[in-house]
């Protein structure tokens, strides 16, 4: 019986030792550590990097005190294969337990890209490039992915109008095309069946609605004025009048390779399907990417009799029903 008692004692000792080891391990992995100077440390984990190499990288960066401890914890919890590639930011003292959760759940650092309401696709490409998600040229090419919108606008030749303005957060591993896809997806989300039904009631295509919304966006930044400006445009379209809106002329000039916002007589005479001083109806497509409120205004114009409006040079406009009234207002505010 003595050998049996010895075996039992040995087993109990081994179990106790293992239990102590586990408790000690858990205490160590919960202990916060910061071995770097400053408020944070950024670490990039490359694709297919082994767990041990990742642990060494984090030790060298001062994120963890012991690479062996992190490696052992990843092995113990069977998460060595769960570490995801990406750029990670660690802020202040962090425990091995917290580090493990960050790198295995893919909580990578996100960067913001803000697309301003009314931006043209060239400006969208500039914003993407400025945020570090590729070159301007690559971003501009991505804004030509018309396959992304063919279900709503089969005649689109670019994604102008459908690059929904918003602030997007993305990991550095994303590129310009990834962001453009998200912008178009955001437009799809806001263009609900209710919007589709309202457009059908007005006998307007999605392209027509977005084009009109882009004109409203370009003409006024005052929320209360958007439905009124829309009402003016709807009234002029119903009467077959030229829209004569300056932003379309500026857009046509940009297409011709000329910059600046000062409008010359030569611009008003420029033969372009976007020139609403020459061609009646809406321009052939959007001249920017409007916010949802401008789309709302395009679909829900104010019930007004106005046919004209002129800027007061303070962010608001003066509206009128007759050309004579309009000319008086132009003399007052513009000349």
pLDDT by residue (tens digit) across 324-333?
Answer: 999 998 988 8
* Confidence (pLDDT) at 320: 94
- Write down the residue that tokens 């914003």 correspond to: 127
Strand, coil or helix: what is 44? strand
9-40: pLDDT as tens digits: 444 444 444 444 556 667 789 999 999 999 99
Q: Does residue 194 contact residue 174 with C-beta atoms inside 8 Å?
A: no
Percent of the chain clearing pLDDT 90 (strictly above) = 79
The answer for residues whose C-beta is within 8 angstroms of residue 162's C-beta and 6 or more apart is 148, 149, 152, 153, 156, 183, 184, 187, 210, 286, 289
pTM of the model: 0.83
* Confidence (pLDDT) at 17: 47
* Confidence (pLDDT) at 8: 52
Specify the DSSP class assigned to residue 94. B
* Confidence (pLDDT) at 22: 58
Strand-pair partners of 94 = 33
* Confidence (pLDDT) at 295: 98
pLDDT for residue 5 is more than 60: no
Q: Residue 34 CA to chain centroid, in angstroms?
A: 34
Query: What is the mean pLDDT of the segment spanning 287-308?
Result: 97
Instruction: Give the chain's mean pLDDT.
Output: 90
CA distance 110 to 126: 19
Query: What is the mean pLDDT of the segment spanning 199-206?
Result: 97
- Write down the residue that tokens 């090419």 correspond to: 141
Q: Residue 63 CA to chain centroid, in angstroms?
A: 31
Q: Pick 26 or 174 by higher pLDDT.
A: 174
pLDDT for residue 270 is more than 90: no
Q: Pick 152 or 25 by higher pLDDT.
A: 152
């Amino acid at each position: 019986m003595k050998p049996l008692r010895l075996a039992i004692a040995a087993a109990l000792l081994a179990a106790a030792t293992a239990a102590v080891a586990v408790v000690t391990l858990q205490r160590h992995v919960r202990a916060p550590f910061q071995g770097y100077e400053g408020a944070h440390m950024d670490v990039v984990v490359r694709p297919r990097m082994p767990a041990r190499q990742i642990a060494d990288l984090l030790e060298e960066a001062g994120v963890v005190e012991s690479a062996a401890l992190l490696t052992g914890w990843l092995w113990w919890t069977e998460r060595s294969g769960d570490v995801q590639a990406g750029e990670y930011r660690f802020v202040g003292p962090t425990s091995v337990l917290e580090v493990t959760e960050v790198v295995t759940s893919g909580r990578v650092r996100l960067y913001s890209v803000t697309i301003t309401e009314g931006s043209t696709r060239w400006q969208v490409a500039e914003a993407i490039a400025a945020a570090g998600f590729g070159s301007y040229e690559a971003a501009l090419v991505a804004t030509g992915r018309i396959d992304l919108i063919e279900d709503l606008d089969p005649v689109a030749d670019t994604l102008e109008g459908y690059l929904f303005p918003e602030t997007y957060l993305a990991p550095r591993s994303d590129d310009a095309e990834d962001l453009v896809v998200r912008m178009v997806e955001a437009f799809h989300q806001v263009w609900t069946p209710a919007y589709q039904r309202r457009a059908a009631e007005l006998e307007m295509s999605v392209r027509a609605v977005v084009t009109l919304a882009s004109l409203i966006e370009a003409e006024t930044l005052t929320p209360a004025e958007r439905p009124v400006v829309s009402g003016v445009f709807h009234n002029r379209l119903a009467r077959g009048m030229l829209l004569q809106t300056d932003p379309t002329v500026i857009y046509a000039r940009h297409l011709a390779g000329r910059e600046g916002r000062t409008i010359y007589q030569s611009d008003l005479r420029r033969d372009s399907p976007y020139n609403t001083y020459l061609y009646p109806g809406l321009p052939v497509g959007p001249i920017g990417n409007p916010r949802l409120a401008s789309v709302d205004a395009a679909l829900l114009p104010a019930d007004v009799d106005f046919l004209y409006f002129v800027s007061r040079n303070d962010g608001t406009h003066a509206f009128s029903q007759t050309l004579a009234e309009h000319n008086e207002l132009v003399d007052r505010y513009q000349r």
